[in-house]
Amino acid sequence: MSLRHAMLGLLYASPMSGYELVRYFQRLLETIWFAQSSQIYPELRKMEEAGLIAATVAPRGQHATKRIYSLTEEGLATFERWANEVAPYPPERDPVRLKALYAHVASFAAARDQFQAHIVHYQSRLQVWHERVKQIRARTAPITALTLERRPPEEHAAIVAFKAHAVDGLIARAKAEIAWARRGLRLVDELEATRLAGADGAAPDTTPARPRTHADRRDGRGNRPSASRLVDRRRPRAVQ
Amino acid sequence: MSLRHAMLGLLYASPMSGYELVRYFQRLLETIWFAQSSQIYPELRKMEEAGLIAATVAPRGQHATKRIYSLTEEGLATFERWANEVAPYPPERDPVRLKALYAHVASFAAARDQFQAHIVHYQSRLQVWHERVKQIRARTAPITALTLERRPPEEHAAIVAFKAHAVDGLIARAKAEIAWARRGLRLVDELEATRLAGADGAAPDTTPARPRTHADRRDGRGNRPSASRLVDRRRPRAVQ
DNA sequence: GACTGCATGTAACGAGTTACATGATTGG
DNA sequence: CCAATCATGTAACTCGTTACATGCAGTC
């Protein structure tokens, strides 16, 4: 449950209201840990019940109020414990790679669009992360600045260096992704060129860029296979 | 809902039983799209209800049976539509980077452990992926082989190249992650060296490697801040 | 008086996890 | 006959998404 730890991390920097947490998630953290208000407010209440944070009610204008949350001793201890543990690695689930695995089912144009979108996506991320790392090193990033305020000077170098390094990791990943997508674009070009070159005597097609699909195997009703082919299929055994 | 598409992708290669799907997810796909049987079987039923796949009941031994699923025309069309669409990018949620952001809260030893674990994790992934890409290029990877069986020869080069490229992306990412973690280890070394060098006249501590925590700000009851500091805190405004 | 921002949610749903349950079949 | 593997699930739960709901505060 890392949403909780991301929230503890913000409250470690400074006490704040739920709304401020929401804004930090929207503006700062969204490229590291995304969360919406509909998740944050209920989680705040759960954390309060669990004794990790405590709220004080502060006035807002003449009639309204807001709740300011801060870490309790237990919340701080929980956060420190989490920071000292090795993070478990979540199981792999990579939608882009899954699709790339089946790029041959798409048209060359669609494959190109996918790689192009990949580049656009990570280039925009790259901009945000570059900006962020600059702010961290300049110590103007809001959360970094708040943290430095309440930590002794001899820790400042480490705080800045670790935070910058975290974002550097995202930058490195983004660059690797962009390079991969560029190689993908070149691959599509090559494959399309060979396909067109090799298609001399082949039957002409109105959409020559699109590989043929299962539609060519049109044997009887849909694609129900004959029973004999099915009964003793133990292919997974051969795996590895 | 990419589980569904991962499953359609396997059934695109060949009709098979739920159990075979489970095995493929365990042995082949687990490093691209992880899923367990408790998720796969119910999803199969949903897909059947939705008309994407159809089952034939095949005998198993003398008394038992099993259900062999294959794509319907609609399932195939859905899969092709998905393959031709640009994948939406899921919101970022990176537990390792989140923890790295707060590495200064941990001990140097714990930070080192984290980076070390990162290297171990991605090196083991790297092995699997290298093996996989080798099998794909050799056309001995089971799903690839099944796919080639039912696709015309002029597509084979593209099928192999795209699948290999997908796994290459995972390999590139793993290498970038390992390089990042190595830089992290060097960073920890440097920071620890400066901390120890700079700690000449400072008060000696029984655990010198561990940065001090909020425990030093021990003003009154826990860490409830004074009301005056809280009422007009509008820090998020400064963001960006 | 209208608009933007502040502030806090709820309800319904879908995706994924953990743990458990059950029985047939095959090979030694 | 015993173990491994084949085969198929269910139940309870957590996490996250989508869409909606409400009202005060400050400003032009």
pLDDT mean values, one per 10 residues, chain A (240 residues): 96 98 91 96 97 97 94 98 96 97 98 98 96 97 96 97 98 98 98 84 44 40 34 36
DSSP state of B86: P
Are residues B142 and A59, on separate chains, in Cβ contact within 8 Å?
no
Place of tokens 């300011």: A68
Identity of the residue in B169, B180, B238 whose CB atom sits nearest the CB atom of A169:
B180
Query: What is the C-alpha to C-alpha distance for residues B116 and B120, in angstroms, rounded to an integer?
Result: 6
CB atoms within 10 A of CB A163: 24
Task: Please report which helix (H) or strand (E) contains residue A217, including its range.
Answer: none
pLDDT in tens, chain B (240 residues): 899 999 999 999 999 999 999 999 998 888 899 999 999 999 999 999 999 999 999 999 888 999 999 999 999 999 999 999 998 999 999 999 999 999 999 999 999 999 999 999 999 999 999 999 999 999 999 999 999 999 999 999 999 999 999 999 999 999 999 999 999 999 999 999 998 887 654 444 444 444 444 444 433 333 333 333 323 333 443 333
pLDDT given at position B199: 62
Write out which nucleotides of chain D lie closer than 7 A to a protein Cβ. Answer: 6-11, 14-20, 23-26
A18 to chain B, any CB pair closer than 8 A? The answer is: no
Q: Is the CB of A17 under 7 A from strand C?
A: yes
> Which residues, numbered 93 to 152 in chain B, qualify as contacts with chain A under a Cβ-Cβ cut-off of 8 Å?
93-107, 110-111, 113-114, 117, 121, 125, 142, 146, 150-152
Report the pLDDT value the prediction gives residue A205, as an integer from 0 to 100.
43
User: From the CB of residue A46, how many other CB atoms can be counted at a distance below 10 Å?
Assistant: 13
Question: How far, in Å, is the CA of B21 from the C1' of nucleotide C19?
Answer: 21
pTM listed for this prediction? 0.85
Residue contact A152–B31, C-beta within 8 A = no
**CB of B189 within 8 Å of any CB in chain A?**
no
DSSP code of B93?
B
Calculate Rg over the CA atoms of chain A: 26
Protein-covered nucleotides of chain C (CB closer than 7 Å) are 6-11, 14-20, 23-26
Taking an 8 Å cut-off on Cβ atoms, the answer to whether B214 and A150 are in contact is: yes
In sequence order, which residues have a C-beta less than 8 Å from that of residue B157 and are 6 or more positions away?
Answer: A191, A194
Q: What per-residue confidence (pLDDT) applies to A28? A: 83
Yes or no, beta carbons of B106 and A114 under 8 Å apart: no
Nucleotide nearest to B35 (CA to C1'): C16
Query: DSSP secondary-structure letter at B61?
Result: T
> Do B224 and A195 count as a contact with CB atoms less than 8 A apart?
no
Cα–Cα dist A93/A102, whole Å: 15
Could you tell me the distance in Å between the CA of residue A92 and the C1' of nucleotide C7?
37
Instruction: Please state, in angstroms and rounded to a whole number, the distance separating the CA atoms of residues B84 and B93.
Output: 26
What are A74-100's pLDDT values in tens digits?
A: 999 999 999 999 989 999 999 999 999
Helices (H), chain B: 2-13, 18-27, 37-49, 73-84, 95-101, 108-137, 142-149, 153-198, 227-231
pLDDT at B238: 33
What H or E segment, with its residue span, contains residue A79? helix A73-84
Partner B contacted by A57 (CB < 8 A): no
**Residue A198, pLDDT score:** 74
Q: What are phi and psi of A170, to 5 degrees?
A: -65, -40
- CA B35/CA B14 separation, integer angstroms: 19
- Token pair belonging to B200: 């000449």
Residue in A closest to B110 by C-alpha: A84
